[in-house]
Chains A and B, each alone.
Chain A
Amino acid sequence: MLYRLDLKAVPYVFVAPFFLTFAAFGLFPLIYTGWLSLHRVELGGSAQWKGADNYSSLASSDFFWNALANTFTIGVISTVPQLLMALGLAHLLNYKLRGRGFFRVAVLAPYATSIAAATLVFAQLFNTDYGLINTVLGRAGFDPVAWESSKWPAQIAISTIVTWRWTGYNALIYLAAMQAVPQDLYEAAALDGASRWRQFLSVTIPSIRPTILFTIVVSTIGATQLFGEPMLFGGSVGISGGSGNQFQTLSLLMYEKGWVTGALGQASAIAWVMLLLLLLVGGLRKVVSRLNRNRNRNLARRTRTTAGS
């Protein structure tokens, strides 16, 4: 009897630590945030029911839409070049290079750097008055760029930090996927007279499509939650995303509402809106991959019927 109980209970005891921590630090905050988002709460004060007011006031708030737009634009400026560069880098690392192991480790180095350290270095480089980048631009005869106070330069600078940090990481993921592509496909393509570039487009990319989709989803999640880079880049005005909120992201707005102005209910509402956005992205991914699978299946069926006739 004891033996049977042992057999049945032990696995649950082993998985319990994860679920305990998840319940305490994942599920509970999630539900509690949802409850908070329907109230007016100040730290240390009591909660008052507000219904959906926090959400409707977000819809009419310029600052929310501004933060949403910034999150989107910074997300695009950072994610698109990042993934394209990672793809190219992975393709190069897939060749038989001398010192290949070294390069593969080297591309991961930025990922291992802490956000704070990297951002502080970049903030110095982009410093309007004393930064290296403006000094070089000045030598080349260009006017100094206001990397912090102008909207697009600031967003580009922040995106540069994100890109620098994540390109190598994505490149390694692509590389792993590329190495799983059967060599025969390349040989067959080469026999048909396909150039390297043609092989990359027609063999590599279609073969690693699920991986590409995966990195797009992960990068989108990362971009939606972007916080550390803009906050540290902005220095003392980081939380408000610059004096004109020119690079305030959703996470920063949430932090500002919750901890600076003490409106925990509104901050929680933003957190939930972010969650819903991510669920929406996840849903889109599912639709896209299903469409893909259907198309592939149809394609396969058609090929089979043509071959059979």
Chain B
Amino acid sequence: MRTSSSRHERGRGRRTVGNAVAAVAVMATGAALLTGCSGSGDDTAADGTITLRIGTFGSFGYDDATGAKLYAEYTRTHPNIKIVESNVADGQKYWDTLKLRLARGSGLADIQALEVGYIAEATGPAMAGKWADLGTAGGADLGAFLDWKVKQATTGDGKVIGLGTDIGPMAICYNKDLFAAAGLPTDRAEVAELWAGDWAKFIATGETYKKKAPAGTAFHDSAGGLFNAVISSEPVQYANAKGELDYENSPGVKKAWNTAVAAATGRLTAKLRQFDEKGTWNAAFKNSKFATVACPSWMTGIIKDQAGPDNQGKWDIAAPPVAGNWGGSFLAVPKSGKHAKEAAELAAWLTAPAQHAKVFGVNGNIPSSKDTLRSPAVQNAKLPYFGDTPVGKIYSQAAAGITPAPISRWDGQVKTFLTDNGILDIEQRGTDPAKAWENVRKLVDDKIEQ
């Protein structure tokens, strides 16, 4: 910690100015070397083969190993194209990296997948200019998609930056054993009848369940999950018709908040946070700690993996109180790519109805094209884990009832504050709901720069 030698050095400093200049020159050269190597390689090989890179997260079901083998199929008809997919499991991490790369303009794949939670940010002013217009390039048939799916990926000046892959129509998954033990019906039509048309009836069913609930179980997994389920069924969510954040005056947020608060304060939930990294939520599936979970189409895979083979046949799927959409994705093409034209063509092909059907057949992703949703392949689909449950019929019916809501750039963040800092605080820490709402408002005001 002693710095007694500093005085000597100061004394000598004057004579070495010339050398210091030389040192700066060395540093400058080094810096030039450091920055000089950031250019990306050329993807066109000597024989004219073009390598197209596609960046995805989670599971899109395109790959040649466990997916629908779409890359192999495309390269058969386009021998000059080679396709390489790079996949990141975690969607949030994928998006964070993608944002950095977009800002820097390097390291981007030729096609990048986008989740609906971030699509408004991608179409927003800071990013809209960085994507190719797939309405004009690539020759996609925009009319084949569900209208609202196209609208979500359209920028303020009418460019379509993303082509729809899948959607997330929602139902309610329920544990038949727990329902029977609590004296509730187990047939999916009768169960759906319990709460048809109104989330308040869903809460009322929860109260009935609570009266005769098996020890250590709750009616629903998570109040935050319930909030997401209710809001995904509302025509007005976080944004107003102009796409501006207006959650405070939104009837949808109000309804979802009140429903979730009723579930939390009425002790109808297992007080879990969905996707909790510590695995408490996952463990509760295995131990049958709750009787219902809001079930977008992609949730069926989670139930299968987490509840495990021991619980096979115990879970069934019923129509939701109100139809809603929770999740879904797009494919977009960064403008700066060297092969933006070829990439746009590939994106259009991958999201065409025929390919939607193939992916659904292998991976179960509910397609975002109108005709495929009506096709027998989707209508008659079943999942082995759920026995004879007509999964395809339930979800395509739910998809038909979806009323798309306007979205804003801040939806994802406000949702996190409402569920993780608002609802979860009431649920786990017993915070007064009025105080929790006030806290959410403060969080949004403090942390979101509009």
Enumerate chain A interface residues (CB-CB to B < 8 A).
8-9, 12-13, 15-16, 19-20, 23-24, 40, 42-45, 57, 61-63, 123-124, 127, 129-130, 146, 149-150, 210, 214, 235-238, 240, 243-245, 256-257, 259-263, 265-266
What are 16 A-B residue pairs whose CB atoms fall within 8 Å in the complex? A8-B19, A9-B19, A12-B19, A19-B27, A44-B99, A44-B130, A45-B125, A62-B442, A63-B442, A127-B278, A129-B280, A130-B283, A237-B273, A240-B420, A243-B420, A245-B421
Q: Is the interface of B mostly helix, strand, loop or mixed?
A: helix
Q: Taking the nearest CB of chain B, how far is it from the CB of A24, in angstroms?
A: 7
**B-chain residues with CB within 8 Å of residue A13 when the two chains form the complex:** 23, 26
B34 within 8 A of A: yes
B312 within 8 A of A: no
The 8 closest A-B CB pairs, nearest first, are A44-B103, A45-B126, A12-B23, A243-B424, A243-B425, A235-B277, A235-B278, A149-B428
Q: Are A149 and B429 in contact (CB under 8 A)?
A: yes
Q: Taking the nearest CB of chain A, how far is it from the CB of B290, in angstroms?
A: 13
Chain B stretch 1-47: residues in CB contact (< 8 A) with chain A: 1, 16, 19-20, 22-23, 26-27, 30-31, 34
Q: Are A44 and B126 in contact (CB under 8 A)?
A: yes
- Mark interface residues in B165-200 (1 if CB within 8 Å of A CB, else 0): 000000000000000000000000000000000000
Complex: how many Å from CA A237 to CA B417?
10
Q: Are A63 and B446 in contact (CB under 8 A)?
A: yes
Q: Are A237 and B27 in contact (CB under 8 A)?
A: no
Q: Are A261 and B425 in contact (CB under 8 A)?
A: no
Q: Are A42 and B429 in contact (CB under 8 A)?
A: no
B275 within 8 A of A: yes
Q: Are A12 and B26 in contact (CB under 8 A)?
A: yes
**A-chain residues with CB within 8 Å of residue B20 when the two chains form the complex:** 12
**B-chain residues with CB within 8 Å of residue A62 when the two chains form the complex:** 442, 446
Q: Taking the nearest CB of chain A, how far is it from the CB of B23, in angstroms?
A: 4
B157 within 8 A of A: no
**B-chain residues with CB within 8 Å of residue A61 when the two chains form the complex:** 446
Q: Are A43 and B413 in contact (CB under 8 A)?
A: no
**B-chain residues with CB within 8 Å of residue A57 when the two chains form the complex:** 446
Q: Are B22 and A12 in contact (CB under 8 A)?
A: yes
**B-chain residues with CB within 8 Å of residue A261 when the two chains form the complex:** 413, 447-449
Additional 10 contacts, C-beta under 8 A, given A149-B429, A210-B1, A240-B420: A12-B19, A12-B23, A16-B27, A44-B102, A149-B428, A237-B273, A237-B424, A243-B428, A244-B421, A244-B425
**A-chain residues with CB within 8 Å of residue B87 when the two chains form the complex:** none
Complex: how many Å from CA A180 to CA B125?
64
Q: Are A16 and B283 in contact (CB under 8 A)?
A: no
Kindly identify which residue among A42, A236, A265 contacts B275, using a CB–CB cutoff of 8 Å.
A236
**B-chain residues with CB within 8 Å of residue A15 when the two chains form the complex:** 23
A24-B34, A42-B126, A123-B278 known; A260+B413 contact, CB < 8 A: yes
B241 within 8 A of A: no
**B-chain residues with CB within 8 Å of residue A129 when the two chains form the complex:** 280
Closest residue of chain A to B16 (Cβ to Cβ) is A8
Enumerate chain B interface residues (CB-CB to A < 8 A).
1, 16, 19-20, 22-23, 26-27, 30-31, 34, 96, 99-100, 102-103, 125-127, 130, 273, 275-278, 280, 283, 413, 416, 420-421, 424-425, 428-429, 431, 439, 442-443, 446-449
Q: Are B96 and A259 in contact (CB under 8 A)?
A: yes
Closest residue of chain A to B33 (Cβ to Cβ) is A20
A43-B103, A130-B280 known; A244+B126 contact, CB < 8 A: no
**B-chain residues with CB within 8 Å of residue A130 when the two chains form the complex:** 280, 283
Number of A-B contacts (CB under 8 A): 104
Closest residue of chain A to B125 (Cβ to Cβ) is A45
**B-chain residues with CB within 8 Å of residue A235 when the two chains form the complex:** 276-278
**B-chain residues with CB within 8 Å of residue A20 when the two chains form the complex:** 27, 30-31
**B-chain residues with CB within 8 Å of residue A236 when the two chains form the complex:** 273, 275-278, 420
- Interface-centre pick from B27, B275, B278 (highest chain A CB count, 10 A): B278
Q: Taking the nearest CB of chain B, how far is it from the CB of A250, in angstroms?
A: 14
**B-chain residues with CB within 8 Å of residue A210 when the two chains form the complex:** 1
Q: Are B30 and A16 in contact (CB under 8 A)?
A: yes
**A-chain residues with CB within 8 Å of residue B276 when the two chains form the complex:** 235-236
Complex: how many Å from CA A244 to CA B422?
8
Q: Are B280 and A127 in contact (CB under 8 A)?
A: yes
Q: Taking the nearest CB of chain A, how far is it from the CB of B401, in angstroms?
A: 30
Complex: how many Å from CA A24 to CA B28?
11
Q: Are B127 and A44 in contact (CB under 8 A)?
A: yes
Complex: how many Å from CA A150 to CA B292?
27
**B-chain residues with CB within 8 Å of residue A214 when the two chains form the complex:** 1
Kindly identify which residue among B99, B125, B442, B449 contacts A40, using a CB–CB cutoff of 8 Å.
B449
Closest residue of chain B to A266 (Cβ to Cβ) is B449
**A-chain residues with CB within 8 Å of residue B449 when the two chains form the complex:** 40, 42, 261-263, 265-266
**A-chain residues with CB within 8 Å of residue B31 when the two chains form the complex:** 20, 23-24
Complex: how many Å from CA A260 to CA B416?
10
Closest residue of chain A to B420 (Cβ to Cβ) is A237
Q: Taking the nearest CB of chain A, how far is it from the CB of B269, in angstroms?
A: 14
**B-chain residues with CB within 8 Å of residue A146 when the two chains form the complex:** 428-429
Complex: how many Å from CA A265 to CA B1?
35
Complex: how many Å from CA A266 to CA B30?
32
Closest residue of chain B to A262 (Cβ to Cβ) is B449
**A-chain residues with CB within 8 Å of residue B130 when the two chains form the complex:** 44
Q: Taking the nearest CB of chain A, how far is it from the CB of B279, in angstroms?
A: 9
- Interface-centre pick from B100, B125, B428 (highest chain A CB count, 10 A): B428
Complex: how many Å from CA A245 to CA B442?
12
Complex: how many Å from CA A43 to CA B98?
11
Q: Are B431 and A244 in contact (CB under 8 A)?
A: yes
**A-chain residues with CB within 8 Å of residue B96 when the two chains form the complex:** 259
Complex: how many Å from CA A8 to CA B413?
57
Q: Are A43 and B99 in contact (CB under 8 A)?
A: yes
Complex: how many Å from CA A124 to CA B19?
57
Complex: how many Å from CA A205 to CA B20?
44
Complex: how many Å from CA A31 to CA B283?
47
Complex: how many Å from CA A185 to CA B442?
61
**B-chain residues with CB within 8 Å of residue A262 when the two chains form the complex:** 449
Closest residue of chain B to A8 (Cβ to Cβ) is B19
Closest residue of chain B to A217 (Cβ to Cβ) is B1
